[in-house]
Amino acid sequence: MVSPKERIMAVTLVLFANQGYNSTGINQIISDANVAKASFYQHFKSKEDLCIAFLNARHTYWFNELNIFINNEEDIKSKVISSFDFLIYMNSKENFRGCSFLNILSEIPNDNVKILNAIQEHKKDLRNFFSSLINDENVSDHIYMLFESSIIESQLFKSNHLIEKSKIIINNLI
C-alpha cells in the first residue's frame, strides 16, 4: 500500500511538471493524492517545504539515473558523451520537460532562499560531477555549460540537435 506521503510526492511530480510550481495549489495536490488536509500538513508544513522535498527527490532520482546510464562506459570521454546521451534519453522519457530545477527557479521570487539553495546545490553537484571526471577545470566548466545550455535549448525547441552538436564539440575538446 502506498503511503499518503508517497502519494503526495507522486502527484506533486506530475503536477509540477505539467502545470508548474505556481499554478499548482495545495488543495489540488491533496485532492489528487486522495489524502486528508491534516495528513498533508503532517508531512509538509508548507508548499515551500513540499517543493524542497520534491527537488531533493528529483535530485536523487536524476543523479541515480545518470550514474546508471554512464556506468558501463570505461573511459572519461565515453562517460562524458554518454552523459549527453542521457539528456536525449530523458528528453524522450519526459517529453522535453527540461530541468525541474530551472523550471521552478523561473517561478520563485528572488527572496525565496530556501528553494534557491536546493536548486543551487543541484547545479553545484552537476558541476562537480563533470569536474570529478575531468581534471582540467576550464574543460569541465565548458562541458558543464554545454550540458546546461543543451537542456534549455532542447526544452525550448523540442529537439536534441544541440545535444548532438555538443557531443561533437566534446569529442574535439577531450
Domain limits, the chain: 1-44, 45-171
CATH of domain 45-171: 1.10.357.10
Rounded (10°) CA dihedral 67, 68, 70, 75: 90
- Please report the beta strands in the chain, taking only residues with DSSP state E, as ranges in sequence order: none
Nearest to 61 by CA among 11, 3, 22, 100: 100
Closest CA to 58 of 114, 123, 111: 123
C-alpha span between 154 and 42 (Å, rounded)? 38
Buried-exposed string 109-125: b where 16+ CB fall within 10 A, e elsewhere: eeeeeebeebbeebeee
pLDDT 10s digits, 83-132 = 999 999 999 999 999 999 999 999 999 999 999 999 999 999 999 999 99
CATH fit for domain 1-44, picks 3.20.20.70, 1.10.10.60, 2.60.40.10, 1.10.3720.10: 1.10.10.60
- CB hemisphere CA count around 156 (13 angstroms): 10
pLDDT of residue 1: 86
Task: Give 35-73 pLDDT, tens digit per residue.
Answer: 999 999 999 999 999 999 999 999 999 999 999 999 999
What predicted TM-score, i.e. pTM, was given to this entire model?
Answer: 0.93
Tens digits of per-residue pLDDT, 136-169? Answer: 999 999 999 999 999 999 999 999 999 999 999 9
